[in-house]
Amino acid sequence: MSHTTIGHLRVALIITELGVGGAERSITNLAIGLDRKRFVPTVVSLAPPPSTNHDLFVEQLAASDVPVEFLGLRSPWQYLRGVRALRHRLTQIAPDVIQSFLFHANVLTAQAASRINTSHVTGVRVADPSRWRAWLERIATRRVDKIACVSQSVAEHCQYFSDFAAEKLCVIRNGIDLTTLQNVKAINLETLGLRPGRKAVVFAGRLHPQKSVPWLLQAAARFLCRLPDYDLIVAGDGPQRTSLENQARELNIANQVHFVGYRSDLLEVLAASQMVVLASRWEGMPNVLMEAMALAKPIVAIRAEGVSELLHDTDPTQLVHTHDVEAFAECVMRIAQDPILAKSIGQQNRQRIQQHFSLRTTINAYEQLYLSVAKHNASR
């Protein structure tokens, strides 16, 4: 393989869409962070370009001179068209390694790359409980070279639930570049609708059943009534927003819950918070928790894939093992009512990110994986 011989590997990074989200942030960080002396990245999104207020990652990639292309697919019914379009584009890019992220991109890319003699790595970001998706992805991607899982618990899910080949699984965790957080300043919470002097607990994520936000509001009804100077900020959009706003009114907490939508300045919102909460039914390696930890914020989260790995060796108050409303509310209140404990937990969290979840370590792991699979493919 000529590109491998001269030390420059062309890497095609394929993702379902390039709007806001943890996987989209990760592929952006990876594309920008790959060593350009050894790797030439191109990013391909199956979907059309994101709307103007959701195109942060597209702008970052452009500013770093990473080519970005959009196939314009809008529906699963365009699958065959997408396979043809991606296969044509891959033939033009002539990558040494293809890396796909997320279910739709993994399945479609595996079919598009089936006639191309190149290495293919898929990326599994969450422990999706859907059995039909697990079956389809296992069948579609059975010939890939490696499956990069974002956490050990996701790898175990892939092996024991999805029945992926164990020898193809590897774990590459998300990482954070702490230098990018040095100049983050806390937002004025009054700009988000909070009254002067209020304190904030923040949830950030897509308003989707996976995130269990309806359950979180039930827990909020328990802790907000006992924390009279606190409000809950819900940062994110999704199909459940209207029903969640109605639920907050029904629970009589609407005056303490602020739905602020998608925020391009989420780091500033997190920096202004006293605590970050997450109640997901399933996860992978939640970026928002990593960012909160890097900002030295305490967390209260339901035990889910990747969460326990993030919070390992930190104060156990942060981890609630089941969707127990009262237990969750008690943990929030314990941290909120003890500033010394909150500060100690925040320091533990930042130290854990600093020691175990650096972005450079993540990118180095992907680089070594790409070199390995490309070398193996060249020797076949």
CATH architecture of 179-356: 3-Layer(aba) Sandwich (3.40)
pLDDT of residue 273: 98
Q: Tell me where in the chain the CATH 3.40.50.2000 domain(s) lie.
A: 2-175+358-379, 179-356
Which residues, other chains included, contact 47 with Cβ-Cβ below 8 Å and sequence gap of 6+?
16, 17, 18, 19, 70, 71, 72, 73, 74
Q: Enumerate the β-bridge partners of residue 42.
A: 12
Predicted local distance difference test score (pLDDT) of residue 7:
67
Q: Return d(Cα 249, Cα 245) in angstroms, integer.
A: 7
pLDDT of residue 4: 45
pLDDT tens digits in sequence order for the chain, 380 residues long: 444 444 689 999 999 999 888 899 999 999 999 999 999 999 999 999 998 888 999 999 999 999 999 999 999 999 999 999 999 999 999 999 999 999 999 999 999 999 898 999 999 999 999 999 999 999 999 999 999 999 999 999 999 999 999 999 999 999 999 998 989 999 999 999 999 999 999 999 999 999 999 999 999 999 999 999 999 999 999 999 999 999 999 999 999 999 999 998 999 999 999 999 999 999 999 999 999 999 999 999 999 999 999 999 999 999 999 999 999 999 999 999 999 999 999 999 999 999 999 999 999 999 999 999 999 887 76
Place of tokens 């914020």: 297
Instruction: Write out the two tokens for 27.
Output: 């592929």
Q: Which two tokens stand for residue 1?
A: 């393989």
- Prediction pTM value: 0.92
At residue 94, the pLDDT reads: 95
Task: Determine the Cα–Cα distance for residues 4 and 348; give it in Å rounded to an integer.
Answer: 42
CA dihedral for 116, 120, 126, 127, sign (positive or negative): positive
Three-state helix/strand/coil letters over 90-123: HHHHCCCEEEEECHHHHHHHHHHHHHCCCEEEEE
d(CA 33, CA 43): 13
| E-state strands within 236-362 | 257-259, 275-278, 299-302, 319-320
- CATH 3.40.50.2000 fits domain 2-175+358-379: yes
